Amino acid sequence: MPLVLLPAAARAQAVGPTLAVVGREGWLFPLWERFDRLDAATMRQVLEMLAEAVGILKRAGIEPVILLIPSKGRVYRRYLPEGVRIAPEVDRRYATAVNALGRAGALVPDLDARFREASARDPHWPLFFKTDTHWTPVGAELAAVHTAAEMRARLRLPPSPRSGTALGEIRMMRLAAGDLVPYAPPALRAGFGPEESPMREVVAAGSGGLLEEDTVDVQVVGTSNVQPRFGFQPVLSHQLMRPVGLSWQPNNIGPYAALLEYVRGADFRRQRPRAVVWNLLEGDMALLPNNQNWARAAMTPAAFLADLRRAVA
């Protein structure tokens, strides 16, 4: 994650070597998330590259669904430090990406609108953890329900021979410590406690939870927001009424390497999916695949596209 400069008001809240910006009411935001300006030239390059990737998948007979997760700071701007303002071009970033990727042929559910509505309607259960970079199970479920509704309405997926994941009672998921707490100013770290969020229990395999390799025709691919602990995949499977596979990598690997690893792997060769739900972050729209964020997993845009084309040919 690169060190970047925020406006003076935010820098004042991120003293010393810390990487977390201290907002209001116990909220933390990552220092690397820019609100004051947008690198429009890089975003254009990213969107052009993603449009080509969408075309590659579609020509291979795979429907690309882009799970574009909105920025925590924009959705919960009311908790940003006093004096921090979101530049107009940053405020338009999500819609710009949705429109561009939609024109390229991808299905891109507008989660930003849904998240803003839900965060205003029910502030008791946030869609992102206050002290973490990830969404909560509540946010993951909202995204899964809306994504599944869009997929049912717009994709021609045939009925599945097997049902989706069965969901049971609601339990509380406990986050012992947010991943931003170690980066907060040292004097404040002890003041941040654990957080909880409700999530659906997955019913034991045998009643819709067991995936069979030859029946999975929808695959979720991405980074740590789609890992099992947040519950996106089972809710998506339940809503789509079909098994859904999952392939994810840590954020420091990045979404591009995660997609390539899946399409190069045995699961893809054994069962080519009808649709891939590819998880990207709004912040990724300003990061090319050769960005230093992804270290050894970095690659040029040309290499990413060539490898993707080769893998799905």
- Identify residue 243 by its one-letter amino acid code: P
Question: Who's near 35: CB < 8 A, 6+ residues apart?
Answer: 6, 7, 10, 73, 74, 80, 84, 85, 86, 87, 90
CB distance 278 to 259 below 8 Å:
yes
In this predicted structure, what is the pLDDT of residue 13?
43
- pLDDT recorded at residue 213: 53
AA identity, residue 3: L
Q: Domain residue spans in the chain?
A: 8-312
pLDDT recorded at residue 34 = 84
pLDDT of residue 186: 92
Going from the C-alpha of 223 to that of each of 1, 89, 171, 212, 296, the distances in angstroms are 15, 26, 24, 23, 16
Amino acid 214: pLDDT: 59
Q: State residue 79 phi and psi, 5-degree precision.
A: -105, 5
Phi then psi for residue 252, to 5 deg, are: -75, -5
- Note the pLDDT of residue 209: 43
Q: In sequence order, what DSSP letters do the residues of 120-185 get, joined into one string?
A: HH-TTS-SB-TTSSSBPHHHHHHHHHHHHHHHHHHS-PPPPSS----EEEEEEEEESS-TTGGGS-
pLDDT of residue 2: 34
Of the candidates 62, 57, 59, 6, the one whose C-alpha atom is nearest the C-alpha of residue 31 is 6
Region of 263 please: left (phi>0), alpha (psi -120 to 50) or beta.
alpha
pLDDT at residue 8, rounded to an integer: 35
pLDDT of residue 25: 95
Is this prediction's pTM over 0.85? yes
Cα 160 to chain centroid distance, Å, stands at 26
Residue the block writes with tokens 């002290």: 131
* Token digits of residue 154: 């717009």
Q: Could you say which residues of the chain have pLDDT below 50?
A: 1-17, 206-211
